[in-house]
């Protein structure tokens, strides 16, 4: 393998999507990876990306990119329904793979990809970037080391605005079966951060609701019917005995951002952000055996990237690239991997099932 890991990105259109906002600037600033190739569905747009971000190669067919001998690892950053085929192709080509979250459109797709990755013996990572956020990493260690003592209760909320209107190139998410909606993405990322910090649920009750049943396409002025949920409420019990409540929503106007509140027998922790834990920094406050919260500074050891890594959306992706690179170089597993994704897919299935049945359900068949 070359001095740097040679990376190809599938879904590298510079005009839209997640890659130009996060992956492309992150890999350019990475010390572990070389941006070797970019791939879109048109050679013209691939060439535009190659020139803007300094890649060596540009492709309009991911199969041709996967066949190139200079590619060690691949990123799949596409719409959720398009994750499966290029991820499977990359795994079958023996490449290390980083695929964005949600891993698959369904849990079955995610499980098939996870099983294939294990069979091929390659490193694999899923884009649950909150697990690489320095503030979330520090919060997890504080809880694990007993800062709050026994976790008695916790609450997580992520409330955003802007549900009623979007451009026509984004209304494909109106269909719940596409796998990209408030339940899988906003709730998926946020509740994953919560579970990463305080541990798994054993039982959940939930309401999964579509409050805005129509959207306006801002460019065409058409009204489109919506089946994707925009409000998710979850209550349940944690494996450690604590109780927990969750509200994740995309409402018409200004939201309150992201919050995790953790209340223990010996202290309290509060994590907050105006945006999301997977895409932006968080503020951490805490107190032990007292009633006045104070800001807690995140130690430098939780920062893996170089100073040149752009802040905002590329930052946690850059943190993920460091972990991905370490896994590839060492041959050890890197987290979060495809098996982590399958666990989260199954938990989201439990949330949906509890809402449909109108009763509490055991998580992943647990007791």
Q: How confident is the model at residue 366 (pLDDT cuts 50, 70, 90)?
A: very low
Residue 33 phi/psi, 5-degree rounding, is -120, 150
Over residues 273-294, mean pLDDT: 97
For residue 11, the SS3 value is coil
Residue whose tokens read 């549900």? 163
**Alpha-carbon span 223 to 75, nearest angstrom:** 35
Tell me: do 155 and 75 sit in the same domain. no
Q: Which domain holds residue 52?
A: 5-122+314-336
Q: b/e map of 45-60 (b: 16 or more CB within 10 Å)?
A: bbbbbbeebebebbbe
> What's the pLDDT score for residue 281?
97
Q: What is the distance between the alpha carbons of residues 43 and 242, in angstroms, rounded to a whole number? A: 53
How do beta strands 257-264 and 151-161 pair? antiparallel
Report how far residue 35's alpha carbon sits from residue 161's, in angstroms, rounded to the nearest whole number. 35
Strands (DSSP E) contained in the chain are 5-10, 33-39, 57-59, 73-76, 96-100, 124-127, 151-161, 165-166, 201-209, 214-217, 223-225, 231-238, 243-251, 257-264, 267-273, 283-288, 294-295, 361-362
In a domain, 141, yes or no: yes
Mean pLDDT across 222-232? 97
- Pair (296, 326) in one structural domain: no
CATH number, domain containing residue 211: 3.30.360.10
Q: Determine the average pLDDT of the residues in 241-263.
A: 97
CB atoms within 10 A of CB 104: 25
- Tell whether 306 is covered by a domain: no
- Read off the pLDDT of each residue in 278-295 and give the average, rounded to a whole number: 97
Length of the chain: 367
Are 54 and 166 contained in the same domain? Answer: no
Q: Tens of pLDDT along 92-150?
A: 999 999 999 999 999 999 999 999 999 999 999 999 999 999 999 999 999 999 999 99
- Alpha helix (H) residue ranges in 227-267: none
Q: Is residue 30 part of a domain?
A: yes
Based on the domain organization, do 257 and 114 belong to the same domain? no
Structural domain includes residue 127: no
Report which of 249, 248, 262, 253 is spatially closest to residue 196, judged by C-alpha positions: 262
Alpha helices by DSSP H, listed for the chain, are 24-28, 43-53, 62-67, 84-92, 107-120, 134-144, 187-198, 313-330, 338-357
Question: Are residue 330 and residue 349 in the same domain, yes or no?
Answer: no
- Pair 297, 240 in one domain: yes
Q: What percent of the chain has pLDDT over 70?
A: 99
Are residues 358 and 322 both part of a single domain?
no
Indicate whether 256 belongs to any domain: yes
Contact 73, 327 (CB under 8 A): no
User: Residues 328-333: what's their mean pLDDT?
Assistant: 94
37 and 179 in a common domain = no
Classify residue 236: in a domain, yes or no.
yes
Same domain, 234 and 275: yes
Are 155 and 80 found together in one domain?
A: no
Report the distance separating Cα 187 and Cα 249, nearest Å.
Answer: 8
Cα–Cα distance, 30 to 195 (Å, whole number): 28
The reply to whether 307 falls in a domain is no
239 with 326, same domain: the answer is no
Q: Residue 14 sits in a domain of what CATH number?
A: 3.40.50.720
pLDDT tens track for 61-77: 999 999 999 999 999 99
Is 367's pLDDT higher than 50? no
Specify whether 323 is located in the same domain as 229.
no
275 within domain boundaries: yes
Quickly tell me which residue has 């964005």 as its tokens.
Answer: 100
Number of domains in the chain: 2
């Amino acid at each position: 393998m070359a001095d740097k890991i040679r990376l190809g990105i599938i879904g590298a259109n510079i005009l839209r999507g997640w890659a130009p906002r996060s992956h492309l600037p992150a890999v350019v600033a990475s010390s572990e990876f070389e941006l070797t190739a970019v791939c879109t569905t048109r050679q013209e747009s691939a060439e535009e990306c190659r020139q803007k971000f300094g890649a060596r190669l540009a492709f309009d067919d991911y199969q041709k990119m996967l066949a190139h001998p200079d590619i060690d690892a691949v990123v799949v950053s596409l719409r959720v329904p398009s994750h499966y085929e290029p991820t499977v192709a990359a795994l079958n080509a023996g490449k290390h793979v980083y695929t964005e979250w949600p891993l698959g459109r369904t849990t079955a797709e995610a499980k098939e990809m996870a099983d294939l990755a294990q069979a091929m013996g390659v490193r694999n990572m899923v884009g649950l970037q909150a697990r690489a956020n320095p503030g979330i990493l520090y919060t997890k260690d504080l809880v694990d080391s007993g800062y709050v003592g026994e976790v008695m209760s916790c609450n997580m909320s992520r409330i955003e605005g802007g549900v009623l209107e979007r451009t026509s190139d984004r209304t494909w998410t109106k269909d719940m079966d596409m796998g990209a909606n408030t339940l899988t993405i906003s709730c998926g990322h946020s509740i994953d951060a919560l579970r990463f910090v305080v541990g798994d649920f054993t039982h959940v009750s939930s309401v999964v609701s579509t409050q805005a049943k129509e959207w306006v396409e801002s460019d065409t002025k058409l009204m489109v019917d919506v089946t994707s949920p925009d409000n998710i409420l979850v209550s349940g019990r944690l494996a450690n005995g604590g109780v927990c409540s969750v509200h994740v929503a995309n409402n018409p106007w200004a939201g309150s951002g992201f919050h995790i509140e953790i209340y223990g027998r010996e202290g309290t922790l509060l994590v907050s952000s105006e945006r999301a834990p997977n895409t932006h920094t968080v503020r951490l406050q805490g107190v032990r055996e007292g009633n006045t919260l104070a800001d807690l500074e995140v130690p430098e050891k939780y920062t893996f990237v170089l100073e040149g890594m752009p802040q905002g959306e590329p930052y946690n992706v850059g943190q993920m690239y460091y972990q991905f690179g370490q896994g590839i170089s060492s041959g050890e597993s890197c987290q979060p991997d495809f098996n982590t994704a399958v666990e989260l897919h199954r938990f989201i299935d439990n949330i949906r099932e509890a809402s449909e049945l109108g009763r509490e359900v055991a998580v992943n068949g647990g007791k």
